[in-house]
């Protein structure tokens, strides 16, 4: 390998020519594959070379990080090999640590740090036992670079690799925390060191938060002592309110630490005086920060300031981050009341903190979609206004009442001014106040305040109008006990709708749709046809330019205003157009399904057919023209078709069947895409249920069924096959009677092949269905197959079943038990327990004797007892049975859970429940199981006593407590 060739390719990678870069990367990949050990050595040399440009050194560190998972060791899942030689590994580990703790360039230190953490993920602690001790030595040295690098790397190691046991072992964690506090409080240290120490300490807090620490007396007492120390330190450090960028970054981390201390640890740990002192300090800090925030962040004007720049973060971002952490810490002190002169100042600065930034204002007015994303709370960014929202939600009742009084007075003063940004902020603040769960005590005339808010609807500024539209329904909802929500809600809604329709601003129009979610006190689906039409008009006007999260809002809006069972052609047209705006958006797809389902719910056949004429052509054309490969348009079309078919008010007419059937059957038989198969199986299942059996070609149905039952098909593609099998068997019971054994055989073979629980659940449902129809015939069918493995698969997955699957499985198992069939095999019971505790069980030994072998009836009883206990432990959605407590003084004192005769005699003394029969079709799982066990225990059905006596103590106790 030529060192110069490697270096040459690295230099080419820095060129702007994309094709040249791609070729260089390809050449380097080939070099690495030829000799990964030597290549790693060369990369290391270049990374250490002070004569090479920083960009080249960064690149080789990136390549080194890239080859580690492939050539380092088998500890990585992506390992291919050959492995880098051991002596080279030792050198790489040593030199990378040196880079992290000695190189003057932070980019190189960071690049080396990433590689160290990656290697340590598999090498620490076995292959790299001295990693922590080496870093600790660097951290306590006199070299600022070594300290900074050691602290930063320790943070990554502590977060990703160090366990709780390792943290407390040998005092590693305690020593690290001590050093962190020393560096954090050292005013002579550089901010780089203090920031790195604060970040590391924040990582250490994750270990101290562990409840186990609080449970151990020695650790708890040490934690309490440390808590006092760190709170005292924070009280001192946070007195510094400088707005230097390094100080802002440092204080942001300190406020995060303070918030964790205030919210994640027992309140008694936090000294009351210290908490009050920190509250006062953070309010003073906010007061000093806000004017600068208004200039630098809101108005984007830094002319009056001379900030030192930072390589990783801008001043506006650092300042906004600081204020977010300040406000969040203040939220964490919610047990303290806000009062006095500082509170008066806090009110004013809270309002100013809500002023929309110039950047966001321009973004909203230029593109209403960004406004929708923010107002529907799906924005990935967390800004200062979001922090204010959270802060207000944590304020106590008295304080929120004072804030409310202040805010409505402020709004009254602002009404006649031209300060639109402050008006919008005041409305935003009031909206946040009204969203608080705390009661607001006020002497204000609520109707007059509402009239004030309504007047803001006529403001000249679009954002003020939009904010008023969003604020009003929240205000009415908050004070629904003081005013008539029906009268005032209806009037204000219609006025907001009028304003929105007359406005040319898309922000104003979209705000009306956002506000619909807050009009929960109105029956929006009972609006007049004219009002519905006005809302749909807004949807239509926004539809063309809608993107990102707006199509979902449009779909939700349509869904909210639809009148049940009433034909609405316009709504369907808009709904379908909105759904096609972004077929890849999962939320949009879900909203489409909900809206279309709402539109189709309860309609008559005539209207249903009219809807099909509008919707089906485009859907079927998309499916028919598909090659079978996955596309988002094909996926959406199939899902829309599923919704249409599944909401048919009657059996589909032959004319509709003939249009859908060939297209749907063809795509299923043509495609091999897992997702398309999964979706289309759901469609075909609904299609089978809602169509006349005689219209189908049985051969095509069997071809489709065979495709989904193919053992080679993925579990994902076959996820709905069980439901489809049930639909086919029930629909074509006469036509396919002779083929039932083959269908059952294919189903059970697919079951034994399945790995994913969702697919297994669906296939087990087939067995449950067949047993419900005819338990003896089903057992006869299974007897001719691998029935033992089928039962073992069912029993093994029983405890993982969810929802309705649990009840249907319980009923099926109960039927098998009551059928009293003789099985010439045993099934897997509990795991075998080796009586020789000192004998090491090898993998081969365990494979041969993994489970005890028990009878089918015994296993069924054990599973049903397990579920009975689980139902009582987790709770059932139906009415819960009241379990009498067992004590030494009551009438149960002589009842021993191991004494079946006493259990039986007690049950015989109870009144018989005549509402139950053996079907238990209307019972919830808990009641079904209780009734089942009462029946077989009281009458000793099928010698239940013998099974009962072989249950373990816990299982007998469950039966005693739950059925008596």
Q: 3-state class of 801 per DSSP?
A: coil
Residue with the bigger pLDDT between 912 and 814: it is 814
pLDDT of residue 892: 37
Which helix H or strand E contains 907, and what residues bound it? helix 900-908
536: exposed, middle or buried (Cβ count in 10 Å: 0-12, 13-18, 19+): buried
Say if residues 830 and 920 touch (Cβ distance below 8 Å): no
| DSSP 8-state assignment for residue 417 | S
Task: Specify if 908 maps to a domain.
Answer: yes
- Please say which residue of 635, 669, 694 terminates a domain: 694
**Residue 919, number of CB atoms within 10 A of its CB:** 11
pLDDT digits (tens, 9 = 90+) for 65-80: 888 999 998 888 889 8
CB 431 within 8 A of CB 393: no
Q: Mean pLDDT lowest for which of 142-146, 213-217, 374-378, 631-635?
A: 213-217
Could you tell me which residues are beta bridge partners of residue 851? 831
pLDDT in tens, 454-468: 999 999 999 999 999
Q: Which residues of 238-267 are buried (b: 16+ CB within 10 A; e: fewer)?
A: beeeebebbbbbbbbbbbbbbbbbbeebee
Q: For residue 958, give every residue at least 6 positions away whose Cβ sits within 8 Å of its Cβ, in sequence order, or none.
A: 865, 868, 869
Is 376 a member of any domain?
no
In terms of residues, how long is the chain? Answer: 964
Q: What is the 3-state secondary structure (H, E, C) of 687-746?
A: HHHCCCHHHCCHHHHHHHHHHHHCCCCCCCCCCCHHHHHHHHHHHCCCCCHHHHHHHHHH
pLDDT for residue 31: 86
Q: Which of 655, 676, 694 is the last residue of a domain?
A: 694
**Tens digits of per-residue pLDDT, 576-607?**
999 999 999 999 999 999 999 999 999 999 99
Structural element, H or E, at residue 831: strand 827-831
The angle that helices 397-414 and 420-434 make with each other, rounded to 10 degrees, is 150
Helix %, strand %, coil % of the chain (to 5):
70, 0, 30
Would you give the end-to-end CA distance of the chain in angstroms?
Answer: 81
Average pLDDT over residues 201-215: 86
pLDDT attached to residue 923: 56
Residue with tokens 């390809």: 26
291 belongs to a structural domain: no
If phi > 0 it is left, if psi is from -120 to 50 it is alpha, else beta; for residue 444 that is: beta
What pLDDT, on a 0 to 100 scale, did the predictor assign at position 903? 61
Sign of CA dihedral 780, 783, 786, 788: positive
What pTM, to 2 d.p., does this model score?
A: 0.83
Token pair of 31 as six digits: 């070099």
Q: How high is the pLDDT of residue 390?
A: 93
- 3-class state of residue 818 by DSSP: helix
With cut-offs at 50, 70 and 90, classify the pLDDT of residue 220: confident
Percent of the chain past pLDDT 70, that is, above it, reads 92
Structural contact between residues 845 and 906, judged by C-beta atoms closer than 8 angstroms: no
**Tell me, what's the pLDDT at 888?**
39
What does the pLDDT average to over 238-257?
Answer: 94
In DSSP notation, 268-297 reads: GGS-HHHHHHHHHHHHHHHHHHHHHHIIII
Q: What is the pLDDT of residue 907?
A: 60
Position 321 in a domain: no
Q: Which of 520, 463, 519, 529 is nearest to 493 (CA)?
A: 519
Tell me what the mean pLDDT of segment 25-52 comes to. 89
- Label residue 908 by pLDDT band (50, 70, 90): low
64 CA to centre of own chain: 34
Q: Please say which residue of 124, 157, 180 terminates a domain.
A: 124
Is the pLDDT assigned to residue 802 strictly greater than 80? yes
In whole angstroms, what is the distance from residue 833 CA to residue 828 CA? Answer: 13
* % the chain with pLDDT above 90: 68
Both structure tokens of 779: 């057992």
Only one residue has tokens 């935003």, namely: 428
Domain count across the chain: 3
Please provide residue 618's backbone torsions phi and psi, each rounded to the nearest 5 degrees.
-65, -40
- Residue scoring higher pLDDT (652 or 342): 652
Q: Which pair of structure tokens corresponds to residue 56?
A: 């080249």
Q: Where is average pLDDT lowest: 37-51, 156-170, 714-728? A: 156-170
State the chain's mean pLDDT as an integer. Answer: 89
Least Cα distance to 932 among 827, 772, 811 occurs for 811
Q: What are phi and psi of 274, to 5 degrees?
A: -65, -40
**Is pLDDT of 922 > 80?**
no
Q: Is residue 641 part of a domain?
A: yes
Alpha carbon distance 879, 862 (integer Å) = 24
* For range 656-665, the mean pLDDT: 97
Q: Which pLDDT band, with edges at 50, 70 and 90, does 874 fall under?
A: low
* CA neighbor of 777 nearest in space, from 815, 746, 736, 747: 815
Q: What is the pLDDT of residue 183?
A: 95
554, 578 in Cβ contact below 8 A?
A: yes
Residue 760 buriedness (CB in 10 A; 0-12 / 13-18 / 19+): buried
Is the distance from CB of 927 to CB of 881 less than 8 angstroms? Answer: yes
In angstroms, rounded to a whole number, what is the distance separating the alpha carbons of residues 495 and 359?
A: 30
What is the model's pLDDT at position 676? Answer: 97
Nearest one of 426, 436, 239, 456 to 348, comparing CA atoms: 426
Structure tokens at 838: 């000192």
DSSP state of 851: E
Cβ–Cβ under 8 Å, residues 198 and 250? yes
pLDDT of residue 891 exceeding 50? no
DSSP class of residue 853?
A: E
Strand partners, 853: 828
Q: What is the pLDDT of residues 271-307, one digit of tens each?
A: 889 999 999 999 999 999 999 999 999 999 888 787 8
Is residue 169 in some structural domain? no
Does residue 890 carry a pLDDT above 50? no
pLDDT at 873 (0 to 100): 60
Question: Measuring CA to CA, which residue among 552, 556, 549, 518 is closest to residue 535?
Answer: 556
Query: What is the structure's pLDDT at 919?
Result: 35
For position 338, what pLDDT does the model report? 82
Rg of the chain, C-alpha, whole Å: 35
664 part of a folded domain:
yes
Confirm whether 421 is domain-assigned.
Answer: no
Q: Which two tokens stand for residue 35?
A: 């000799």
pLDDT at 911 > cutoff 60: no
CA 314 – CA 306 distance, rounded (Å): 13
pLDDT at position 450: 97
Decide the pairing of beta strands 827-831 and 851-854.
antiparallel
Q: What letter would DSSP give residue 717?
A: T
d(CA 785, CA 868): 31
Quote the tokens at residue 741.
């054994």
Q: Which domain holds residue 29?
A: 1-124
The DSSP bridge partners found for residue 827 are 854
Rounded CA-CA distance 400/477 in Å is 16
Count CB-CB contacts under 10 A for residue 558.
28
Q: Do 320 and 293 touch, CB atoms closer than 8 A? A: yes
Reported as a single tens digit per residue, the pLDDT across 524-566 is: 999 999 999 999 999 999 999 999 999 999 999 999 999 988 9
Which residues neighbour 911 within 8 Å (Cβ) at sequence distance 6 or greater?
none
Residue pair 302/364 in contact by the 8 Å Cβ criterion: no
* H helix runs in 161-270, sequence order: 164-168, 172-185, 191-208, 211-215, 217-237, 245-264
User: Which of 170-179, 218-227, 635-644 has the highest mean predicted lDDT (pLDDT)?
Assistant: 635-644
């Amino acid at each position: 390998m030529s060192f110069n060739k490697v270096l040459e390719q690295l230099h080419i990678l820095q060129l702007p020519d994309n094709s040249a870069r791609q070729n260089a990367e390809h050449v380097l990949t080939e070099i690495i594959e030829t000799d990964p050990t030597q290549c790693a050595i060369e990369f290391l040399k270049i990374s250490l070379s002070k004569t090479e440009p920083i960009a080249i050194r960064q690149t080789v560190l990136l390549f080194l990080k890239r080859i580690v998972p492939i050539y380092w060791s088998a500890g990585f899942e992506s390992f291919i090999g050959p492995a880098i030689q051991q002596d080279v590994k030792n050198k790489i580990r040593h030199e990378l640590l040196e880079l992290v703790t000695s190189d003057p360039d932070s980019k190189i230190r960071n690049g080396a740090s990433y590689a160290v953490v990656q290697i340590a993920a598999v090498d620490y602690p076995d292959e790299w036992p001295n990693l922590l001790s080496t870093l600790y030595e660097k951290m306590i040295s006199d070299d600022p670079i070594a300290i900074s690098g050691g602290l930063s790397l320790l943070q990554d190691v502590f977060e990703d690799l160090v366990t709780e046991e390792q943290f407390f072992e040998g005092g590693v964690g305690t020593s690290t925390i001590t050093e962190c506090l020393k560096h954090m409080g050292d005013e002579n240290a550089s901010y780089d060191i203090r920031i790195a120490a604060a970040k590391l300490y924040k990582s250490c807090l994750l270990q101290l938060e562990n409840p186990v620490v609080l449970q151990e007396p020695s650790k708890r007492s040490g934690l309490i002592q440390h808590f006092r120390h760190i709170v005292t330190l924070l009280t001192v450090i946070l007195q510094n309110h400088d707005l230097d960028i390094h100080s802002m970054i440092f204080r942001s981390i300190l406020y995060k630490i303070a918030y964790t201390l205030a919210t994640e640890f027992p309140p008694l740990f936090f000294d009351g005086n210290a908490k009050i002192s920190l509250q006062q300090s953070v309010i003073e800090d906010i007061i000093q920060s806000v004017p600068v925030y208004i200039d630098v962040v809101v108005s984007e004007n830094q002319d009056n300031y001379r900030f030192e720049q930072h390589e990783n973060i801008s001043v506006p971002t650092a300042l906004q981050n600081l204020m977010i952490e300040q406000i969040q810490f203040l939220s964490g002190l919610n047990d303290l009341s806000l009062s006095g002169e500082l509170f008066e100042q806090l009110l004013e600065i809270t309002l100013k903190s809500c002023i929309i930034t110039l950047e966001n204002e321009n973004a909203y007015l230029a593109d209403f979609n960004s406004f929708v994303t923010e107002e529907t709370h799906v924005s990935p960014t967390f800004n200062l206004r979001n922090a204010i929202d959270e802060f207000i939600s944590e304020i106590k009742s008295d304080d929120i009442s004072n804030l409310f009084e202040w805010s409505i007075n402020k709004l009254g003063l602002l009404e006649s001014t031209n300060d639109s940004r402050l008006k919008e902020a005041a409305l935003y603040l009031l909206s946040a106040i009204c969203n608080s769960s705390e009661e607001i005590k006020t002497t204000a005339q609520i109707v007059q305040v509402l009239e004030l808010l309504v007047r803001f609807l006529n403001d000249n500024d679009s954002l003020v109008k939009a904010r008023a539209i969003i604020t009003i329904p929240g205000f009415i909802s908050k004070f629904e006990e003081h005013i008539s929500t029906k009268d005032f809600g209806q009037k204000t809604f219609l006025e907001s709708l009028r304003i929105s329709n007359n406005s040319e601003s898309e922000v104003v129009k979209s705000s009306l749709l956002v506000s619909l979610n807050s009009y929960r006190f109105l029956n929006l689906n009972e609006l007049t046809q004219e009002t519905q039409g006005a809302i749909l008009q807004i949807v239509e006007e926004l539809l063309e330019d809608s993107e990102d999260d707006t199509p979902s809002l449009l779909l939700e809006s349509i869904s909210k205003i639809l009148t049940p069972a009433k034909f609405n052609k316009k709504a369907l047209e808009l709904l379908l157009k909105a759904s096609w705006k972004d077929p890849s958006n999962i939320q949009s797809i879900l909203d489409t399904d909900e809206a279309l389902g709402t539109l189709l719910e309860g309609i008559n056949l005539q209207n249903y057919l009219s809807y099909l004429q509008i919707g089906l052509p485009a859907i079927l054309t998309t499916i028919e023209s598909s090659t079978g490969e996955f596309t988002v348009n094909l996926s959406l079309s199939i899902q829309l078709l599923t919704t249409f078919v599944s909401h048919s008010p009657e059996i589909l007419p032959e004319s509709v069947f003939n249009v859908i059937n060939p297209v749907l059957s063809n795509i299923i038989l043509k495609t091999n895409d897992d997702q398309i198969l999964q979706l289309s199986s759901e469609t075909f299942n609904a299609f089978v249920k809602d169509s006349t059996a005689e219209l189908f070609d049985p051969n095509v149905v069997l071809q489709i069924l065979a495709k989904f039952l193919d053992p080679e098909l993925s579990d994902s593609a076959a996820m709905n096959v069980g439901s489809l099998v049930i639909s086919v068997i029930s629909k074509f019971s006469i036509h396919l009677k002779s083929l039932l054994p083959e269908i059952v055989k294919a189903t059970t073979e697919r079951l034994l092949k399945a790995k994913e629980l969702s697919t297994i659940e669906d296939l087990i449902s087939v067995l449950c269905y067949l047993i419900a129809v005819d338990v003896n015939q089903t057992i006869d069918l299974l007897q001719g197959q691998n029935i033992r493995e089928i039962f073992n698969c069912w029993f093994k997955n029983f405890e993982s079943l969810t929802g309705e699957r649990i009840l249907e499985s319980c009923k099926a198992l109960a039927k098998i038990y009551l059928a009293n069939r003789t099985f010439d095999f045993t099934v897997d019971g509990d795991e075998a327990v080796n009586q020789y505790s000192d004998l090491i069980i090898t993998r081969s030994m365990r494979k041969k004797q993994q489970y005890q072998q028990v009878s089918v009836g015994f296993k069924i009883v054990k599973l049903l007892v397990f579920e009975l206990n689980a139902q009582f432990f987790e709770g059932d959605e139906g009415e819960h049975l009241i379990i009498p407590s067992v004590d030494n003084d009551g009438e149960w004192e002589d009842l021993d859970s191991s004494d079946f005769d006493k259990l039986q005699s007690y049950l015989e003394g109870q009144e018989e429940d005549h509402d139950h029969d053996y079907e238990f079709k209307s019972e919830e799982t808990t009641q079904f199981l209780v009734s089942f066990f009462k029946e077989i225990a009281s009458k000793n059905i099928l010698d239940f006593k013998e099974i009962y006596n072989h249950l373990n103590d816990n299982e007998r106790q469950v039966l005693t407590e739950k059925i008596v």
